[in-house]
Amino acid sequence: HNPEIGSGTRTRAIMEAYGLTFKKSLGQNFLTDLNILNKIVTAAEVSDADDVIEIGPGIGALTEQLAKAAHQVVALEIDERLIPVLGETLADYHNITVLHGDILATDLSALIAEHFDGQHPVKIVANLPYYITTPIVLHLLDEEADFASITVMMQKEVAERLTAHPGTKDYGSLTVGVAYSTDSEIAFTVPKTVFVPSPKVDSAIVSMKKKAANAYQPKNEVNFKRLVRGSFMHKRKSLWNNLLGFYGKDENIKSKLTLALKAAEIEPGIRAERLTVGDFVRLSDCLEDQGL
């Protein structure tokens, strides 16, 4: 009987048996700590009532623990060398499907419809490749896909930005984007020493639970998102100066901006980092009313 994949000895044995090297370019830092792996499964609140999508299974350390807890697991791995390895390391589990692909090019709704029965909440769980953490989170949040939560490991600095509160230095357009559709928090932090190879930075698990679909309903979602990005364009400038840079500086626009800010009850002189998601939605709607 083999020890679990997430143990240091088994990971080394698998890497050796298949002659595998870690691909730095794919963010391959594998977890070799069963305690942390199980803490991730617990933080994700995965039970046999849930289906799970795992991004980047590597050699299957987290996949194995997820399979023990979940109804069905679909694991999507970009590195084709690992596909046959996963076929063998996870052979004992009959509730795992391994797919070869790039998460950024994957239509999650289609994946969910194809592989799950629609009777179980879908939870996304991963030890993310750090070089594309932000694009992956944005891709997941952008999707209309019907999933319940995202619980993922990332670099601690990025975790702090995703979960920041208004008025702090870490608060930015990424934070507002996350808070628009989820309630997020750092579940726990993780030292570099539990990975092989050890990354340069400490890590944290962020849990993001989908808000109800009608939590925020801006009149125009595309313009709302543009407003958020535009407001944080130059973080040290005032909201007013960012808005002028974004919408234009002529008198007609200035007066529309003034009216919109007044209607939304927002001080033009403040910085965007002071605004909550609700403030941005209100301002976006008032700008819409002014035809901006």
Does 58 sit near ligand SAM (CB under 6 A)?
A: yes
Q: Is 102 annotated as a binding residue?
A: yes
Among 152, 104, 154, residue whose Cα is nearest residue 130? 154
Contacts of 108 (CB under 8 A, 6+ apart): 53, 140, 143, 145, 147
Q: CB-based contacts of 42: which residues, under 8 Å, 6+ apart?
A: none
Find the part of the chain contacting ligand SAM (CB under 6 A) among 21-29, 43-51, 241-249, 275-283. Answer: 21-29
Determine whether the annotation assigns residue 101 to a binding site: no
CB of 37 to ligand SAM, least distance (A): 7
- Neighbour count for residue 100 (Cβ, 10 Å): 12
Query: Which CB, 26 or 215, lies closer to ligand SAM?
Result: 26
| 218 contributes a contact to ligand SAM by CB under 6 A | no
Number of shown-chain residues binding ligand SAM (CB under 6 A): 21
Beta bridge partners of 125: 54, 151
Contacts to ligand SAM from residues 149-168, by CB under 6 A: none
- Pairing mode, if any, of strands 72-77 and 182-190? unpaired
Q: How far apart are CA 46 and CA 52, in angstroms?
A: 8
Taking CB under 6 A as the rule, which mask of x and - marks residues 90-109 in contact with ligand SAM? Answer: ------------xxx-----
Q: Are 51 and 70 in contact (CB under 8 A)?
A: yes
Segment lying near ligand SAM (by CB under 6 A), choices 25-33, 66-74, 173-181, 260-268: 25-33
285 among annotated binding-site residues: no
Identity at 85, one-letter amino acid code = V
Out of 44, 55, 85, 179, the residue judged to bind ligand SAM by CB under 6 A? 55
| Cα–Cα distance, 98 to 103 (Å, whole number) | 13
Residues near ligand SAM (CB under 6 A)? 26-31, 55-58, 61-62, 76-79, 102-104, 127, 129
Binding region for S-adenosyl-L-methionine? 29, 31, 56, 77, 102, 127
Binding region? 29, 31, 56, 77, 102, 127
